[in-house]
Structure 1
Amino acid sequence: MPRYEYKVVAAPRQGLKAKTARTPDERFANALATLINDIARDGWEYLRTDTLPMEERKGLTGRSVSYKNMLVFRRALDEAQIQTPEVRVTAIPGPAAAVPRLGAPSRGTPEDGTARAPAVGPALARADGRTDARTDGHSDGSADDKKNGAAAP
C-alpha cells in the first residue's frame, strides 16, 4: 500500500492577469491553474480543496472565526523515505519479586516471590486529645479552635 506525504496551500484570493483572461472569473481561474501547475512540477498531485475555519484575533481581546480555502496536494513516498519507528523492548533485570506490591498484606513469604505491604497504624493524637490535621501545637484563631477551647495567638 503506498504511503503519501501531504502539502496544504492557501488558495489564491485574487486573479492573475493574462492575455487570454479578460473577466475576473477567468483571471481567478488563471491564478488557480498557475498555482496548481507550479506545485505539480515538484511532483505533488492535486487532491482536493477544503474550506476550514480559522480563529483570528480581533482587536486586543476579541476573537472571530473566518473560513479559508485550502488546496491539498499529495505525493507518494519512496521506500527509502518511509521512516518506520524503531521499537525496543528492554527486560527488567532481576526477579519479579523485587517489585514491591501494594495493597492488602499477602500470606506468602518473601522467599516465595511475594512481598508484604507496609503496615499503617492509626493517626497520632495531639497532646490535647484532638486528632485534627494541625499537629504543630499552634492555633490559627478559627471558630473551630474557639469551640474546642484553644486560645487564639
Structure 2
Amino acid sequence: MPFYEFKVIPAPRRGEKARGVKTTEERYALALTKLMNELGREGWDYVRADTLPVEERVGFTGSKTSYQHMLVFRREIEVMAQAEASAPRSRLVAVEEEPASVPKLGPAGGAAGTAPAIGPASSGVAAE
C-alpha cells in the first residue's frame, strides 16, 4: 500500500499575460498550467481543487467568513520511508552470537562449570 504526502496551495488569483493569450479565461488557464507543470516536475500529482471557508477578523471584535480556493497535490513517499513507517517498533535489542571458532575467556586451569567454595577463607597452611 503506497504512502503519500500532500501539499495544499492557494489557486492563482490572476492570469498571466503572454503573446497570443487574450481572454481572461486563457490567461488564467496559462497561470494554472505553469503552476501545475512546475509542481509536476517536482513529483507532485494534482488531486483536486477545493473551496474552503476561512474566518477572518474585521475590526476589533467582528469577524466574517470568506472562501479560499485551494489546490491539492500529492506524491508518493519513497520506499525506504515506507519500510521505516511500517516496521514494528521494538524495544528488544538483537544480540549477535559469537562464532564458534572464537575461544571464550574464563579461569585458567579450572574445571569448567564448578563454582568456588563458600565459607571462611582458609590460610592454606595445615594445622600441626
Q: How would you bin the TM-score normalised by the shorter chain?
A: 0.5 to 0.7
State the distance in 2 between where 1:23 and 1:66 align.
27
Aligned partner of 1:33: which letter?
T
Q: Which aligned pairs between 1:1-153 and structure 2 lie closer than 5 A?
A: 1-82=1-82, 83-84=84-85, 87=89
State the distance in 2 between where 1:17 and 1:81 align.
42
1:65-91, CA deviations, whole angstroms, 9 ceiling, x for partnerless residues?
Answer: 1111100001011121234286457xx
Aligned partner of 1:84: which letter?
A
State the distance in 2 between where 1:52 and 1:7 align.
15
State the distance in 2 between where 1:44 and 1:9 align.
12
Q: Aligned with 2:81: secondary structure?
A: coil
- Give 1:12 shift: 0.4
Determine which structure has greater relative contact order: mean sequence separation of CA pairs < 8 Å that are 6+ residues apart, divided by chain length.
2
Q: Identity rate of aligned residues, in percent? A: 48
Note the residue ranges of structure 2 that are not aligned, 5 or more in a row: 92-128
Ranges of 4+ aligned residues in structure 1 off by more than 6 Å = none
Structure with bigger strand share is 2
Root-mean-square deviation (CA, aligned residues, Å) is: 1.9
Aligned partner of 1:38: which letter?
E
State which drifts further: 53-62 or 77-86.
Answer: 77-86
* Residue 147 (structure 1) aligns with: none
Q: Aligned with 2:53: secondary structure?
A: strand
State the distance in 2 between where 1:55 and 1:49 align.
19
Q: Aligned with 2:27: secondary structure?
A: helix
Q: Aligned with 1:60: secondary structure?
A: coil
State the distance in 2 between where 1:43 and 1:52 align.
25
Aligned residues: 90
